[in-house]
Amino acid sequence: MQTDTQYDPEQSRRNAEKIRRYHEITEGGLAAADEVLAEEVVVHGAFDGEETHGIEAFRERLTDIHDSFSGFSVEIHDIVAQADGGASRWTVSGTFEEPYDGIEPDGERKTNPGISMFRFEDGKIVEIWDREDTHSALQQMGAVPDDA
């Protein structure tokens, strides 16, 4: 996040818009990823705790999620941005219709809240830290018992 960069309200506004676009991309607008993400973007902690390197790996992993969860959507609750970073709070949802990471689908709608933090360089997102309620998601998918 911002450390020694002077506050720039216009850059903060642009970054907030890029964070919003990022969530539109995760919702299904993968073709627009080049507009917002750096070619070598690193996503920490997303997708089952894995670290994803590069825009193509990001697209592939997100495609896997969309293939498993129909009607995948992102509801953005908050966005905070500054000159070289930002954060968002969101909830994703989708209907679990195809196997995901070896877990068989049940055809039911799943929801999962999370937060993301972003670092920008040269007007693009270069790093993302995602945290979501993975335990709850696994319980909803039947991979972890409710009482675990």
* Cβ–Cβ under 8 Å, residues 88 and 16: no
pLDDT at 27: 92
Residue 110 has pLDDT above 50, yes or no: yes
pTM of the model: 0.87
* 6 CB-side CA count, 13 A: 0
Tokens for 77, please give them: 């609750």
Rounded to the nearest integer, the mean pLDDT of the chain is: 89
How does residue 49 score in pLDDT terms, banded at 50, 70 and 90?
Answer: low
Residue 14 pLDDT exceeds 50: yes
Q: What residues does each domain of the chain span?
A: 9-140
Architecture of domain 9-140: Roll (3.10)
- What is the number of other CB atoms lying within 10 angstroms of the CB of residue 37? 22
92 pLDDT band, cuts 50/70/90, is very high
